[in-house]
Amino acid sequence: MLIVKDDGDFLGPLSGVMKDWTAAGHPPPIIMLEREWRQSADAFAIEYDDIRAAHRVLAGKDPWAGIQVRREHARRQLEHELMGKLVHLRQAYVVDWNRPKRLADVVRGTRAGFLTMLRAVLRLAGRTPPADSAALVRDAALLIGFASGGLTEPAAYLDAVTRTAEYVNRMERNPS
């Protein structure tokens, strides 16, 4: 992630560095103006929590001074993201029900996002999410109540997403 000052043309000067960066196989970084960064903790609460947990300052000042992610913003975004994922998965499952390879592709294509959501659930529950994916799924499964094994199998994956969405929805009614 790059946070830049809104003081003119920054895209041109960054383009050469970014060309080399992406040519080396790295994804382009998220680029935000400093004022956008400071005003977006409510819109990107899950992402901000994830970034804060893993960030390193390579140059310049620490961008977290004065930025706070509110629990209700993270919970609301998480509920929105989970319900969107659930709707998308059900659509894909109905269309590709008799095509196991296609369903497996859907699961693979959405797994990284689901892991991000599981990290957010654990944080909202006051727990520190493990860095290891298998441990993350195990800890979240114990908390939420889904089977931690077999998340590569479409039916088990859909059940895990459904139960996670239900769990987060109950958090609204029972805040901790």
Banded model confidence at residue 175, pLDDT cuts 50, 70, 90 = low
Residue 9 domain boundaries: 2-39
| 144 shares a domain with 76 | yes
| 109 shares a domain with 31 | no
C-alpha 142/C-alpha 135 separation (Å) is 11
What amino acid is encoded at 42 in this protein? D
Q: For residue 173, what pLDDT is reported?
A: 65
User: Is 24 part of any domain?
Assistant: yes
| 161 shares a domain with 77 | yes
Q: What is the DSSP letter of 75?
A: H
How many folded domains does the chain comprise? Answer: 2
| 25 shares a domain with 75 | no
Banded model confidence at residue 166, pLDDT cuts 50, 70, 90 = very high
Q: What pLDDT digit, counting tens, does each position of 72-100 carry?
A: 999 999 999 999 999 999 999 999 999 99
107 contacts 85 by C-beta, under 8 angstroms: no
Q: What is the DSSP letter of 28?
A: P
| 92 shares a domain with 31 | no
Q: For residue 176, what pLDDT is reported?
A: 55
Q: What pLDDT digit, counting tens, does each position of 150-163 carry?
A: 788 999 999 999 99
153 contacts 99 by C-beta, under 8 angstroms: no
CA-closest candidate to residue 34, choices 4, 55, 64: 4
User: Is 105 part of any domain?
Assistant: yes
